[in-house]
Amino acid sequence: MLKPLKEKVTLGHLRSARQSGQKTAMLTCYDYTTARLMQAAGVPALLVGDSAANVILGHPTTLPVSLSFMIEITAAVRRGAPLAFLVADMPFGSYQASVAQGTRNICRMVKQSQCDCVKIEVTAHHLPLIRSLAAAGVPVMAHLGLRPQSVGVLGGYKYQGRTADEAASIVALALQMEEAGAVALLIEAVPPEVANAVIQRTSLPVIGCGAGPGCHGCVIVTHDGLGLTPSRPKFVPNLAELGDPLREAFGKYVHAVSTGAYPSAEHQYTMAPAEQDRLKAWIEKTDKNSPC
């Protein structure tokens, strides 16, 4: 049974979920129409991910997407789902150059999109930026584990925390992010043991993306869950298979147009008989006066 959102979901709800054990469902969203449907379905948290570069723009990585584009689509999602907790992804190149650049661009994102939180793929290098944003009152979700914006350095989309040393590094970074002022963590593509270690040692809400059942919430790329991408990652549930029905619907339209079945009388606007007669008389008159 659908339970549409009735009140604004806030960071307080995420923090309460950590204490109560109530899991928070989060989905990626990139447009107004889908956001409206997700709010009606009761999805409490939405992420406007830089995965838009892949599933919306068709790029092989998340790197090409621009800040202006991310702001535009985040604002659209906000209009569609004003009650959801909205997280905006900061794209590659928008915060890496300096603390000043990152603070300026992130404040621009918050002001122009009206998001509730921003997500940043972090390393220890970003600790000064996190502190600056915390001082400015900007809620930051720190993204750990697999960081798609660093795919070139990581050598591909490989899950992280494979060894005890790698796991310890992720936990240490999570603790540093909490100390610097991050309000939540997102951990992507790690074994459950790694996520659990982070959960045990920090006090922040932890959203998992392929990080096991211990996290306080889960997020997936919606297109993956709906069967709209070429392949579904291992950790993504099969919510629906919409690819085939959509292809069939598009093909049905092509057939209807190409055979003349569409548009039929039911799809046409009408003109009053008297106006039809006037139009016919005007056409006949202009045809007679035509120079040819």
Catalytic residue numbers read 188
d(CA 262, CA 253) in angstroms, rounded, equals 8
Question: Any residues with CB less than 8 A from the CB of 155 and at least 6 apart, and which?
Answer: none
Tell whether the torsion through CA atoms of 209, 195, 186 and 2 is positive or negative: positive
Closest to 173 in 3D by CA, of 154, 160, 191: 160
Partners of 145 in beta bridges = 188
Q: What tokens does 198 get?
A: 């982070």
CA 263 to chain centre: 36
Q: How many residues does the chain have?
A: 292
